[in-house]
A and B are shown apart, each in its own frame.
Chain A
Amino acid sequence: MLTGVSMSRKELKSEFGDVTATETGLRRFLHGLPGVDPVGLETRAAALGTRSIKTTAKAYALDLAISMIDLTTLEGSDTAGKVRALGAKAVLPDPSDRSTPQTAAVCVYPDMVATAKAAVAGSPVKVASVATGFPAGRVTLDVKLADTREAVAAGADEIDMVIDRGAFLAGNYGKVHEEITAVKEAAGDARLKVIFETGELSTYDNIRRASWLSMLAGADFIKTSTGKVGVNATPANTLLMLQAVRDFRDRTGVQIGVKPAGGIRTAKDAVKFLVLVNETAGPDWLDSHWFRFGASSLLGDLLMQRQKLRTGRYSGPDYVTVD
């Protein structure tokens, strides 16, 4: 099925109605997904990482990558001042060059949403907020929903929720599905990104299942990780999720976004991810509406590479902001 034959959420529900209606149906569907060949997946991801992207293609990729960044600060030590600085950086990433694109969004904790909103006011930069007891998600559903509603009320355009990994790993797919549905409802018009924390899901099969589970439950975006565990976004797990959104759109016509987060620090890495996107999901995803990078230090390196292309000399960390 191609685009244009997009299903509404209601139709989606009816196509997969028997899948999502019961826990058994969900399990049968998720465990019926084809198994992942880990060696093949990693080889493919590594092979795509060797593409040489130069000159004009590189310039395009750098600008695209900058426009896809969710500029993130998620520390216990975040202050209003730091969030304001981050907002200023998102709006004007390189003060020495106004042709630099703006980042897609800033990503903060719920209590900082209002500050962030004010910092990016008047620009197209969106405010994303993590919610639902980020990063562990070990709180009750009521708290998760309240967390979400507060962030939306404060003006968040996007909500990054974490799934209950404990329930998922225990095979309690119904609970995970229910929570995503409930949070989606609480988020209202805000776009919902669902974080799997791939580093805690142990297997590629689980990542594929989590992808389908979230897409069926109404996620607008699927996101690899919180950035708080040892293993974050890798080319392989991102490739796997890109395959999932591609297959999902083929089947339903509904396009879902992908966001790798954590551990992407260099422009070179970012460009490799863009190659994965283009070669797996396709050029339709090469847009900040459908693909994002959750990162903070990545922006600095992208700006340095951009300055190098513009001036012909290597730049240095003294010429970009310190986070």
Chain B
Amino acid sequence: MSDKPEPTVRLSVFKTYKLYVGGKFPRSESGRVYEVTDSKDRPLANAPQGSRKDARDAVVAARKAFGGWSGATAYNRGQVLYRVAEMLEGRADQFTREVAEAEGLSRAKAAAQVSAAVDRWVWYAGWTDKIAQVAGGANPVAGPFFNLSSPEPTGVVAVLAPQRSSLLGLVSVLAPVLATGCTAVVVASEDRPLPALTLGEVLATSDVPGGAVNILSGRTAELAAPLAAHQDVNAIDLTGAPAELAVELERAAADNLKRVLRPADAEGDGEDFTADPGIRRLTPFLETKTVWHPTGSLGVSGSAY
């Protein structure tokens, strides 16, 4: 005589959100976390609250990765970015849920954001080997020279991700940085960091070299200040900075002549990320190298070359 066994209740496994630095998923060096809530103030998860030392470590990782990523062929970079789109597509359901929770959108609207984010990766994947022709080229000069300008990646770019658009906005500011061959330290949206932290998992499985993208969550002002003043950061994208902070950061960035991309408007991120991105975000992080190559006759022998 045996009783029917009680149906076992399975406890679901909760995810610990972590930073993405140097291809690894560490907790914040400070050990701090902060509560992330949905649009109706219901708690979603604890996110790591990064410190300035996390920012420093991320810059070191990004600098280390810069040689490999910028040295990869533009074609190869395009393939890798396309691979990110593939991986993102495969996890569309998870991102749809996270975006819906973070931004308070309906499922359908969140799904549209995720699809747009996937398409955004594809857009920039296509641009990797084309930007050089658009932003560079041959210059006519008054002398027997070929004169060529070629755009090259500037280096490590600190990216303050948009505060409101947690995935599409993030991809819209991150992808162009990667497309040009720069490496990035991203400060995720302060109140909506979860899609960004999950994007780290997508990047880690997409052949993006460890360190090429580093994602930090925490207080934007606390993380942005050391990044703006950091002497080994070459550029800063202030998209996610509130107006007052943006001014302060731009001042700090002037110290080592960082390239600065200002927020699109005074509001910080009123930017419509669903619009056609163009190449507005590709060109700010390029350095133009111009080479002079002698041409024409090299002697009096009459040789044509």
Report which A residues bind B (CB closer than 8 A): 307, 312-319
Contacts and interface: CB of A to CB of B under 8 A. Distances in A.
Contacts of B59: 314, 316
11 contacts: A307-B231, A313-B229, A314-B56, A314-B59, A314-B231, A315-B231, A315-B232, A316-B59, A316-B232, A316-B233, A318-B231
Contacts of B233: 316
A102 B230 CA distance: 26
**Secondary structure at chain B's binding surface: helix, strand, loop or mixed?**
helix
A293 B233 CA distance: 30
In the complex, which of the residues A307, A312, A314 has the most CB atoms of chain B within 10 Å of its own CB atom?
A314
A318 B59 CA distance: 13
A24 B230 CA distance: 62
Given A313-B231, A314-B231, A317-B232, 4 more contacts: A313-B229, A313-B255, A315-B232, A316-B59
A315 B233 CA distance: 9
A250 B255 CA distance: 54
**Secondary structure at chain A's binding surface: helix, strand, loop or mixed?**
loop
B152 to A, nearest CB: 16
A300 to B, nearest CB: 12
Interface of B: 56, 59, 63, 226, 229-233, 252, 255
Contacts of B230: 313-314, 316
A314 B226 CA distance: 7
A52 B59 CA distance: 23
Contacts of A312: 229
B229 A316 contact: no
In the complex, which of the residues A312, A313, A317 has the most CB atoms of chain B within 10 Å of its own CB atom?
A313
A317 B155 CA distance: 13
A317 B63 CA distance: 10
A318 B256 CA distance: 11
A319 B231 contact: yes
A16 B252 CA distance: 65
In the complex, which of the residues B56, B229, B231, B252 has the most CB atoms of chain A within 10 Å of its own CB atom?
B231
A316 B63 contact: yes
B260 to A, nearest CB: 16
A13 to B, nearest CB: 52
A319 B59 CA distance: 15
Contacts of B229: 312-314
Nearest to A314: B230
Nearest to B52: A314
Contacts of A316: 59, 63, 230-233
A266 to B, nearest CB: 10
A58 to B, nearest CB: 14
A193 B181 CA distance: 48
In the complex, which of the residues A307, A315, A316, A319 has the most CB atoms of chain B within 10 Å of its own CB atom?
A316
Nearest to A316: B232
Contacts of A317: 63, 232
A319 B232 CA distance: 9
A302 to B, nearest CB: 16
A93 to B, nearest CB: 17
A150 B63 CA distance: 44
Contacts of A314: 56, 59, 226, 229-232
List 3 tightest A-B contacts by C-beta distance, closest first: A316-B232, A313-B229, A316-B231
A49 B255 CA distance: 35
A316 B229 CA distance: 11
B298 to A, nearest CB: 33
B53 to A, nearest CB: 10
Contacts of A313: 226, 229-231, 252, 255
Contacts of A318: 231-232
A268 to B, nearest CB: 12
A318 B229 CA distance: 14
A11 to B, nearest CB: 53
